[in-house]
Amino acid sequence: MRIIVIGAHPDDCDQKAGGTAILLASMGHKVKFISVTNGDAGHQKDKGLSLAKRRLGEAKEAGKRFGVEYDVLNNHDGLLMPSLEVRLQVIRKIREWNSDVVMAPRPNDYHPDHRYTGILVQDAAYMVAVPNIAPEVPALKKNPVFLYFQDHFQKPNPFRPDIAIDISSVFQQKVYALDAHTSQMYEWLPWIGGYLADVPASAKDRLTWLAGTRTGRITPDVRKALEKWYGAETSSTIQHAEAFEICEYGKQPNEEMIRNIFPMLR
Ligand SMILES: [Zn+2]
């Protein structure tokens, strides 16, 4: 299976699907992360080309730690629009990876770049199989399965966890990969969140702190999905999970196909 994960910023795929990506890559699937923007607005001091370069380096290092390829598109952070130009970029990337599965945010989110990435990927669904659109890259033979990342937004409709993956065994590796995004995990996100003073100084303390702040509790709905896929007994012991919703615009996978995409569910 070839899986492409598309986020708005260089650290979005990592947070939403990083554990699943580690597991899939270790099972022989090919996984690629794409950031649609270059992240050049995500800092309180640095900006522009200097910040974009720093974040590209962080993304490449994170990719190594996850065991995936990582591409960053050169669109400005905080200014993303669901334009035809960017839609064609997304279509080309999905085709070039010969993707069987595409993961992306839902178009309901606090951040306009996240919302528009959701729109852009929805707009690319189906079109990736239309040969007359972006003919310079051969169209896919079939529409991939499109999956949404988990989020907590309720309007107009809440996230529905169709699939939930136990990432407990690779959680520490996920945290170690997130740690590559120094500018985000230890500088920008704590600054904008008002907790910069809590960030530890030493590398070792930072990893422990990051694991604590990035734990993310398992919601009752996701726990139910874990019960469905892992059974009640196993699911009650699961500490860390990532969940996905099936998008209506892609191929609709049956249960057998879902277990082929996610061999850990077999
Ligand atoms: Zn983001």
Which residues neighbour 107 within 8 Å (Cβ) at sequence distance 6 or greater? 115, 116, 118, 119, 122
- Cα(189) to centroid of ligand 1, in Å? 10
Whole-number Å distance, alpha carbon 8 to ligand 1 midpoint, is 5
User: Rounded to the nearest whole angstrom, what is the distance from the C-alpha of residue 184 to the centroid of ligand 1?
Assistant: 10
pLDDT at 217: 87
Q: Residue 32's closest CA among 95, 79, 118? A: 95
Instruction: Concatenate the DSSP letters of all residues of 169-231 into one string.
Output: GGHHHHHHHHTT-HIIIIIIHHHHHT-GGG--SSHHHHHHHHHHHT--PPPHHHHHHHHHHH-
The token pair at 69 is 């390829």
Q: What percent of the chain has pLDDT over 90?
A: 98
Distance (angstroms) between ligand 1 centre and the Cα of 7 equals 7
Ligand 1 centre to CA of 235 (Å) is 29
Q: Mind listing the pLDDT tens digit for each residue in 88-130? A: 999 999 999 999 999 999 999 999 999 999 999 999 999 999 9
Gap from CA of 148 to ligand 1 centroid (Å): 14
Residue 131: is the preceding peptide bond cis (ω within 30°)?
no
Q: How far is the CA of 61 from the centre of ligand 1 (A)?
A: 18
16 CA distance to ligand 1 centroid (A)? 10
Q: How far does residue 234's CA lie from ligand 1's centre (Å)?
A: 32
In this prediction, the residues of the chain whose per-residue pLDDT falls under 70 are none
CA 131 – ligand 1 centroid, Å: 31
């604590």: which residue's tokens? Answer: 212
CA of 153 to the centre of ligand 1 (A): 15
Ligand 1 midpoint to CA 9 (Å): 5
Cα(107) to ligand 1 centroid in Å equals 13
CA torsion, ordered 57, 58, 63, 64, to nearest 10 deg: 80
How high is the pLDDT of residue 215? 76
pLDDT tens by residue, 122-148: 999 999 999 999 999 999 999 999 999
CA of 35 to the centre of ligand 1 (A): 9
C-alpha 114 – ligand 1 centre gap (Å): 6
Contact predicate 7/18, CB 8 Å: no
88 CA → ligand 1 middle, Å: 21
What is this structure's pTM?
0.98
Distance in Å, CA 255 to ligand 1 centroid: 31
pLDDT confidence of residue 216: 78
